């Protein structure tokens, strides 16, 4: 690996850390919450999704994620590719705490994706689950993580729109607003409200 490649990989880690901190702030992400990550390392390298993934690229991205996770304490959840039906890599203890159904597979770069394969080997006791309802998520390379986010998803515009060559999008979930025009959603609304019911 030449000096140019090393610099590029270190830049990936910094860029991922930057946008993840932006998402964590917007989402008010807390310790113990779930963050889903969909990553195409092929797209990050400027190639078509699923064709040229590398563990080296995954490692750089993982480094950026870990820098933020250590500060906040959220649980990262890594989405596999379509060949494993977009199952998710996470710590077994987290899957059990959230009551998630586990599935049997070990992600590999060509069946699961390089990011999921790399993450699986970094976690203490990794497992796969079929689905999750995460509190927030980052999609690097248009891998479509929406199926694994809680409702209602709120988009967050990152200051860095591409990680490497891959398009980056982010979102967090907020509780549904219910009750219509008479409902109170904040303490400020409550102070102004004089409606009665029943």
Residue 22 belongs to domain with CATH number: 3.40.50.10360
Residue 11, preceding peptide bond in cis (omega within 30° of 0): no
At 123-136, the pLDDT tens digits run: 999 999 999 999 99
Residue 121 lies in a domain: yes
Distance, in Å, from the CA atom of 124 to the CA atom of 48, rounded to the nearest integer, reads: 31
**Number of folded domains in the chain?**
1
DSSP E strand boundaries for the chain: 34-39, 75-79, 88-91, 102-103, 126-129, 136-140, 153-156, 162-163, 166-173
Instruction: Render pLDDT for 77-120 as a digit per residue (tens, 0 to 9).
Output: 999 999 999 999 999 999 999 999 999 999 999 999 999 999 99
Domain annotation covers residue 198: no
Flag whether 74 is in a domain: yes
| Mean confidence (pLDDT) of the chain | 92
Closest CA to 104 of 80, 124, 123: 80
| Rounded Cα distance, 98 and 192, in Å | 38
Q: What's residue 102's pLDDT?
A: 97
Domain range enclosing 111: 3-192
Q: Report the range of poorest mean pLDDT among 44-53, 132-141, 163-172, 178-187.
A: 178-187
């Amino acid at each position: 690996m030449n000096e140019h490649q090393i610099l590029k990989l270190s830049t990936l880690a910094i860029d991922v850390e930057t946008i993840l901190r932006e998402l964590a702030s917007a989402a008010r992400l807390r310790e113990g919450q779930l963050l889903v990550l969909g990553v195409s390392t092929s797209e990050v390298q400027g190639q078509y999704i699923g064709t040229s993934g590398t563990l080296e690229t995954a490692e750089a991205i993982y480094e950026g994620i870990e820098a933020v996770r250590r500060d906040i304490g959220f649980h990262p959840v890594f989405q596999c590719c379509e060949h494993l039906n977009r199952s998710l890599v996470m710590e077994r203890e987290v899957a059990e705490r959230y009551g998630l159904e586990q599935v049997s597979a070990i992600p590999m770069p060509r069946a699961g994706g390089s990011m999921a394969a790399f993450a699986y080997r970094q976690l203490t006791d990794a497992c796969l689950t079929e689905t999750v309802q995460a509190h927030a998520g980052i999609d690097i390379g248009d891998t479509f993580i929406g199926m694994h986010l809680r409702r209602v998803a709120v988009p967050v515009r990152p200051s860095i729109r591409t990680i490497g060559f891959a398009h980056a999008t982010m979102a967090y979930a907020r509780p549904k607003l219910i009750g219509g025009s008479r409902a109170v959603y904040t303490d400020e609304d409550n102070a102004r409200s004089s409606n009665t019911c029943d």
